[in-house]
Chains A and B, each alone.
Chain A
Amino acid sequence: MFPIEHFLLLAAFLFSLGLLIIITKRNTIMILLGIELMLNASNLNLVAFNQLQPGSVDGQMFALFVIIVAVSEAAVGLAIVLQVYQYFQTSIPDSVSDLKE
């Protein structure tokens, strides 16, 4: 069993990079990629902490349900992205600003 801090440090690194991607990219699909990266970082934490409880799979079950929710989020999110692209003819989230005007 590897030291759990190494798992957690990798997960923290992936989570920060996901946040960086969400903030800096000017494309809705790239933002969805960043969200997937953050969800995976949280999954890594769940799987790593599951090692501390031998004989139990609670953490892995949580990771499984996180994956299921991520699938639903990706499907509905991409449908919304396609619809917004059809309406505004752009995939830059900053230019979708009808409510501002």
Chain B
Amino acid sequence: MSLVAFMFYFFSAVAAFSALTLALVRNVFYGALLLIVCLLALAGIYVLAFAEFIAVTQILIYAGGIVVIIIFGIMLTTRISDRPMAVEHTNVLAGVFVATCIFGLLVYVLTKESFLQPGSPVYDAHFNHVNTIGISLMTSYMFPFEIAGLLLLIALVAACVIASTIKSKRDVSD
């Protein structure tokens, strides 16, 4: 087994194992940290799938942005001093049943069908993905790019508006 293949299966195992632990863990903070591990392993898989730009974006935005926001949310919504931040599980049987059914169905379809077209593609290792992504963002994907910017602006304003009406519960006199 070559080094690259070992890295691929290692990252896959790390992602799958951390996601499995995320489903079992009861502490919300541990859950956020496990999600970081899973996202970083997926970024490694993206690099091995020739998607370098997506991998760096994944690390910057997911591991650096979303998880930090989520950790802020955890700290604002759990009374840390009261009790340990334990999450109870509910609907365990139904959840395991539904998830197993979905997974079984997907595995059945994926193993039954062959996705490789006749004439398997020959990969050009010198093809520059980042360059091509930059050019397509400014040419053929111009309109979605602008819409994405507008969506981010709306989400920013909306998050500020929704969260800004929170009143402090602390008494002003003390």
Give chain A's interface residues, CB within 8 Å of chain B: 1-2, 4-10, 12-21, 23-30, 32-33, 36-37, 40, 43-44, 47-55, 57, 60-61, 63-65, 67-76, 78-83, 85-86, 91, 94
Contacts and interface: CB of A to CB of B under 8 A. Distances in A.
A40 B55 CA distance: 12
Given A5-B111, A63-B54, A74-B69, A48 B89 contact: no
B132 A81 contact: no
22 contacts: A9-B107, A14-B15, A19-B99, A20-B96, A21-B22, A23-B91, A23-B99, A30-B28, A33-B32, A37-B35, A40-B39, A53-B121, A54-B122, A55-B127, A64-B54, A67-B62, A68-B151, A71-B152, A75-B69, A78-B72, A79-B163, A85-B76
B159 to A, nearest CB: 4
A78 B69 contact: yes
A94 B90 contact: yes
Interface residues of B, number: 85
Nearest to A53: B121
Identify whether the interface residues of A are mostly helix, strand, loop, or mixed.
Answer: helix
Given A26-B88, A29-B31, A72-B152, 13 more contacts: A2-B8, A8-B110, A25-B89, A25-B90, A29-B28, A37-B38, A40-B42, A48-B49, A52-B116, A57-B132, A64-B54, A75-B155, A85-B76
